[in-house]
Every structure is written in C-alpha cells, then in structure tokens.
Amino acid sequence: MTRIDDTFARLKAEGKKAFVGYVMAGDPDFDASLDLVRGLPAAGVDIIELGLPFTDPMADGPTIQLAGQRALEGGMTLARTLELVRRFRETDAVTPIVLMGYYNPIYSRGVPRFLEEAKAAGIDGLIVVDLPPEEDAELCLPAQAAGLNFIRLATPTTDATRLPRVLQNTSGFVYYVSVTGITGAAAAVAGDVGPEVARIKAATDLPVIVGFGIRSPETARDIASVADGAVVGSAIVKLCEDQRPVADILAFVRTLAQGAHSA
C-alpha cells in the first residue's frame, strides 16, 4: 500500500471524491514553490501533482509551458525538485506526491539512481507522459518494483483495443484526460466525461481521476460527481504566472477542493 492507495481508501470510507492539485516545481522560485506545496494539504488537496520542469513539454499548454520555463530559468533541476520534496516531507509524511513530467530528465539521471532518489525523497507515484506502455520495461516496471505507483493517462481516443494495454501495468489511479489536445485548452463537460469514466471503470478496479479543462469549483464538482476525483492544474499555475501571493493561490485552491469534495 502506497500513500496514494491509503488516500483513496480513506476518501472512500469518508464518502468523498479526491481533489488533485497540480503545481510546477520551482515556479515562480524555489522558496515560493515550497511554501505553496506545503500549503496545499491544508487547502484541501488530497494528492499533490508536482510538475518536473522540462524544455520540451509537448503535452502541456502555454500556461504550464511558461511555468516550466520560469522554473528552469530560475535554476530548477530534477535534483532541486527532489530537494523540494524532501523539504516538504519534513513537515508532511502523509500527503501523496505524484511527479509528472517527461522521460528525458529521468533518463539523463539514470533510471536506477532516479528511482532510489525519488523514493528516498518521498515521491509516491510517477506520470511520464511520453513513455507508452510498449516501453514499460524502461521505467514503469522498475518504478513499481521500487514501490512507486506508475500512473497512466487514458484519453477520449483510447479505444477498446488500446485500453487494456494502457491499464496493464498502471497502479495508484488512472488519469483520464477529459479533452483531446494540450492542458488548459477546452473545457471539461461532465456529460461527455461520465460515459468515458464508466467505460474505464468497467475495465479496472483503480480509481479514475479526471483532469484537463477544469477551472472552477463548479466544474470540479460536476466532474468529480461522475469520477473518483478531479485534477486542476492550469488554473492554479496561471495565478503563479500572475505573481499572486501564495495565500491568494491557496485560497483559490481551497474553493476548488471544496467543489470536488461536495460532489
């Protein structure tokens, strides 16, 4: 059982849906990012999705791309990202952290070294968007052996033939991308998402969490009502781009979490 598994078991016992909040590590700088991450659990975030800055984030829209650029320009690296997680773990041993990013920085560091460091730092799961199931031996299987959940994305184009392959070595939860395209683009619609979530849940016992296109407490509630939870990223990261104080960002996150938890 990982922290992710424990969190979903607790939420199920409480009759609540999960709220997952995404922030970019090192945006706008290391200290402010650490303050923000440390404040997310008290704002209602059940699972923290921490972006790993990368120079070519092909699945991300402009908001998260710019956040990654700001973090990189501020000196953020994979090592510094893991240091941020270690610092977070000094005061929080419970809240799961999922590292979301791309394979290149992990490959460059070396998979065995990365997994050892990630586990020691307090990472609970990985989402690596540019590693398909055909490459499971590359990182997915070693990560699972190291005790980390490996979380897959399913999309509106993941058909009945592809879905079993996507689910084969997935653990923790399934991340359903509610819209085709990049992050922060179209809006999620519960009426479209519900049947897709039901289709995925018919093929797995894992929780299904929905992200992309959720920008308001109302949408978080509506999406969570047809899934096991909701993810918000770009709407939170945009406040970092606007240089809003951490307290203001956390106040907004609290409204999103309340929306998801009211489903």
User: What tokens appear for 225 in the block?
Assistant: 């009502």
By annotation, the residues acting in catalysis are 49, 60
Burial of 21 (0-12, 13-18, 19+ CB in 10 A): buried
% helix, strand, coil for the chain, step of 5? 50, 15, 40
**CATH number where 130 lies:** 3.20.20.70
Tens-digit pLDDT string for the chain (263 aa)? 899 999 999 999 999 999 999 999 999 999 999 999 999 999 999 999 999 999 988 878 899 999 999 999 999 999 999 999 999 999 999 999 999 999 999 999 999 999 999 999 999 999 999 999 999 999 999 999 999 999 999 999 999 999 999 999 999 999 999 876 555 455 778 888 999 999 999 999 999 999 998 999 999 999 999 999 999 999 999 999 999 999 999 999 999 999 999 99
Q: Which domain holds residue 181?
A: 3-261
pLDDT value, residue 59: 79
pLDDT value, residue 180: 60
Is this structure's pTM higher than 0.85? Answer: yes
pLDDT value, residue 246: 97
Number of domains in the chain: 1
Angstrom distance (rounded) from CA 175 to CA 21: 13
Residue pair 116/145 in contact (Cβ under 8 Å)? The answer is no
Residue 119 corresponds to which amino acid?
K
Nearest to 34 by CA among 86, 109, 96, 105: 86
pLDDT value, residue 187: 73
Angstrom distance (rounded) from CA 199 to CA 188: 17
pLDDT value, residue 4: 98
Nearest to 231 by CA among 251, 252, 219, 214: 214
Please tell me whether residue 49 adopts helix, strand or coil conformation: strand
Nearest to 178 by CA among 145, 134, 147, 208: 208
Strand spans (E) along 46-204: 47-51, 97-101, 125-128, 149-150, 153-154, 174-177
Burial of 233 (0-12, 13-18, 19+ CB in 10 A): buried
Angstrom distance (rounded) from CA 4 to CA 10: 10
